[in-house]
Chains A and B, each alone.
Chain A
Amino acid sequence: MSRESTSVSAAAADAAGSKRPELPSGIVAFVKRDCPTCELVAPVLAAIARQVPLTVYSQDDPDFPPEVSRRDDRDLAVSWQHEVEAVPTLLRVESGREVERALGWHREEWETLTGVEGLGPGLPAMRPGCGSLSVDPAHASGLAVRFGGSKLKARRIEVASLEDELEVGFERGWSDGLPVVPPTEARVLAMLEGTSRAPDETVAIVPPDLAPCTVEKVAINAVMAGCKPEYLPIVLAAVEAACTDAFNIHGLLATTMSAGPVLIVNGPIRRRVGLNSGKNVFGQGHRANATIGRALQLVIRNVGGGRPGEVDRATLGNPGKLSFCFAEDEEGSPWSPLSTDLGFEEGIDTVTLFPGEGPRTIVDQTSREPESLARSFAASLRTMYTPKMVLAFDAIVAVSPEHARVFREAGWSKADLVARLHDLTRVRGSEVVRGAGGIAEGLPEAVRDRDLPKFRPGGLLVVHVGGGAGLFSAIIPGWANGEMGSQPVCRPIGDGSSRGDLLSGGLSSDGETFAAQEGVRS
């Protein structure tokens, strides 16, 4: 298989900062002795060498093949830096630049490439090659570090061989209480393969220290969290969303209340990376769920400097502050995904950040009518924080498949449900003034005769999650919103996933990020 070489490879090498060795002009071949196709074409190479300038790089035996001008590439430096994936690979080089290459033996391509006719008369017309040693897993990550390491700018930390590298994370204060994966150069380089963004690109300015955070720093923390490279674009989008003024991660971190960042993912990326939206969706057991949420918190801790006992003053906190990330079950939902309520088209990969506490279960195993079930939901919602706390709250209502069926069969849209819940969670002022119910907490006397909402307009978000049997749904209580609080923020996930145009209308000033506005669209 032959292909035109473009200047992409050279540009990539320049961007990586490595000095790629220039190839000699003429014809260049990469071979290894331990390859039947390379053995087969050894006489062909000799024949080429009699007609045109040919240089052969050998990956395993400097004396192979005979009768040609050879270079020893046993350290694989040249093979790696010229992205040789198979042997034999034949290249034509003009003025130090590669103009064409062929992989494996292919008479027609080799004759065109070299300009030499009648090659390999006794050979089959074509034969595939073998894997290049430079992409062999045994060698590849060492080569990646050797030649890619220079694009990593983070300070290096030396760990003595007698030290337990898992303890280092604890000793240096990098850990959230659980062991972190040691962020070696090889692991971080592998993680950076998950994005096409440059490692030194700034992703966000992270509170509370207001430290600039690069793609590389996110990758380091993603490694520590245990992420796979394909999760990285989600973590990057989450960091961006968290650090917006609207989300106010600083306020959320510094609060004495219990909330932390909750990540909800929509779009095809859920399936691609294995995010769970079904059984035990809020619990343990799925790597993507556990590590993506964790990575965000590690960035806030390590880059932003936000730690419990310091800026984080939570009295009680909640277990979700270790990690709280899940996917919405879009396929089974009677409604459109959460992302469409926040300004995005269905099918776009997004992550929504919500300032939330741990989930509280709603049990209703009897209601068959939507009105009855909505009243169950509302009764639970009214007790969020306490029934006397009203006016400006947000919450996510997480509707399970069995409960969603009730609404589906009755033909209730998401907007219908949300509107009903807003109505049903209104209270009389007389119930919530100070002293009412024998409880000192409450609102001033002035509101006694008013009718008050529990939630702000647009403050109730609905997701469809969970799996298996179970007539349960859940509330994820929000934190304070408004100027001093935190707005939910939805951000598209970049990097080859489905980005698209925002819905018209209701855009925030940052064109790509949509903060929850009043009203619900579906």
Chain B
Amino acid sequence: MHDTVDLEDRGVPCVFVSTVEFVDGAEAQARALGTTPIAVYVEHPIQDRTDEEMRALADGALEEIVAKLCNDPG
């Protein structure tokens, strides 16, 4: 969260991607930094997924990532 908050302070819109396990942590960190998180959450776990499964996770998250970076996802 610190990186994205710092980059936002510098005027760069950001999205933070994590697994759902990290929701509470992300919210807490963000709140402590004085913001609400702009985050996209993917399914847990990650570590034991095959490459194919990882790519599928990325595909699944793409729309939401783009929506949170842009006003008009197009």
Contacts and interface: CB of A to CB of B under 8 A. Distances in A.
Consider the complex of A and B and state whether they touch directly, i.e. have CB atoms less than 8 Å apart: yes
Interface string A153-192: 0000111101100000001100000000000000000000
Given A160-B33, A171-B34, 13 more contacts: A157-B34, A158-B31, A158-B32, A159-B32, A160-B28, A160-B29, A160-B32, A162-B32, A163-B32, A163-B33, A171-B9, A171-B33, A172-B34
A184 B54 CA distance: 46
A504 B16 CA distance: 69
A159 B34 CA distance: 8
Interface string B12-39: 0000000000000000110111100000
Contacts of A157: 34
Interface in B33-51: 33-34
A159 B33 CA distance: 7
Tell me if B's interface is mostly helix, strand, loop or mixed: helix
A163 B31 CA distance: 12
Contacts, number: 15
Question: How many B residues are at the interface, by size bracket?
Answer: under 10
The 5 closest A-B CB pairs, nearest first, are: A160-B32, A158-B32, A163-B32, A159-B32, A158-B31
Contacts of B31: 158
Nearest to A168: B34
A305 to B, nearest CB: 18
15 contacts: A157-B34, A158-B31, A158-B32, A159-B32, A160-B28, A160-B29, A160-B32, A160-B33, A162-B32, A163-B32, A163-B33, A171-B9, A171-B33, A171-B34, A172-B34
A159 B32 CA distance: 5
Contacts of B34: 157, 171-172
Interface in A132-162: 157-160, 162
Contacts of B33: 160, 163, 171
Nearest to A163: B32
A497 to B, nearest CB: 39
A30 B29 CA distance: 44
Contacts of A160: 28-29, 32-33
Interface string A434-452: 0000000000000000000
A162 B9 CA distance: 19
Best-buried of B28, B29, B31, B34 by chain A (most CB within 10 Å): B34
A151 B31 CA distance: 25
- Interface centre among A157, A158, A160, A171, by most chain B C-beta atoms within 10 angstroms, is A160
B37 to A, nearest CB: 13
A231 B33 CA distance: 32
Contacts of B29: 160
A158 B27 CA distance: 13
Contacts of B9: 171
A297 B34 CA distance: 24
A400 to B, nearest CB: 47
B1 to A, nearest CB: 10
A171 B8 CA distance: 12
B2 to A, nearest CB: 9
Contacts of B28: 160
A70 B67 CA distance: 65
A162 B32 CA distance: 9
Contacts of A162: 32
Nearest to B34: A172
A172 B33 CA distance: 9
Interface string B58-70: 0000000000000
B31 to A, nearest CB: 7
B64 to A, nearest CB: 26
A42 to B, nearest CB: 50
A162 B31 CA distance: 13
Nearest to A160: B32
A512 B34 CA distance: 42
A158 B34 CA distance: 8
Contacts of A159: 32
A232 B9 CA distance: 34
A168 to B, nearest CB: 8
